[in-house]
Chains A and B, each alone.
Chain A
């Protein structure tokens, strides 16, 4: 019940295309859903996050879509650029005294020039 399932495992997109990464969860107590971006040799960095009271959040070219009834959320990267090539992790937490941030397995995104 604590799992977050992420797909696809890897994704290749042409420059200018749309990258879409999907995540699904089971625990209805989760109330905060961040996405992290990790470049090779670096630690993960918070990219964008959403709470279940909204269905969409956009920051620049990055958008999270959230479907509470389906217990799914996704990251869309518009106008993908080679500099976006990285591993992306979705995560979820119920916060409070639950200190655990549950991560998906990650998606390796490659954006070809």
Chain B
């Protein structure tokens, strides 16, 4: 495996479900990010982790809960989501936090029914 891998690629869940998105980076980077991509909107930064410590929480609702157990893995735990949360969730990594050189995964397409 190379780069940044995300699983699952597609996820459909009801509003009462609990699910998790997984991200793994194989680049030896020190920072990992979750971004939300919705149609016709700029990419929205959700969370930033630097060396496993959360350094940014961009006013994200508590129904999204990140977890970074080590510098290579990042999770996004989802519970009681709303239909407007349907989007492409992108994981990214960079050598250093604050670097504009992000390496993105292919994303997890989430549909909330």
> Which A positions have Cβ atoms within 8 angstroms of B?
4, 9, 32-34, 36, 41-46, 49, 89, 91-93, 95-106
Contact of A102 among B4, B40, B42, B48 (CB under 8 A): B42
A4 to chain B: closest residue by CB: B42
A31 to chain B: closest residue by CB: B100
Minimum distance in angstroms from B18 CB to a CB of chain A: 25
> Which B positions have Cβ atoms within 8 angstroms of A?
4, 31, 33, 40-43, 45, 48, 50, 55-56, 58, 90, 92, 97-107
- C-alpha gap A97/B106 in the complex (Å): 26
**Which chain A residues lie closer than 8 Å to B104 at the CB level?**
36, 43-45
Q: Is A46's CB under 8 angstroms from B102's CB? A: yes
Q: Is B98's CB under 8 angstroms from A43's CB? A: no
Q: Is A99's CB under 8 angstroms from B98's CB? A: yes
Contact of A103 among B42, B50, B98, B99 (CB under 8 A): B42
Q: Is A105's CB under 8 angstroms from B100's CB? A: no
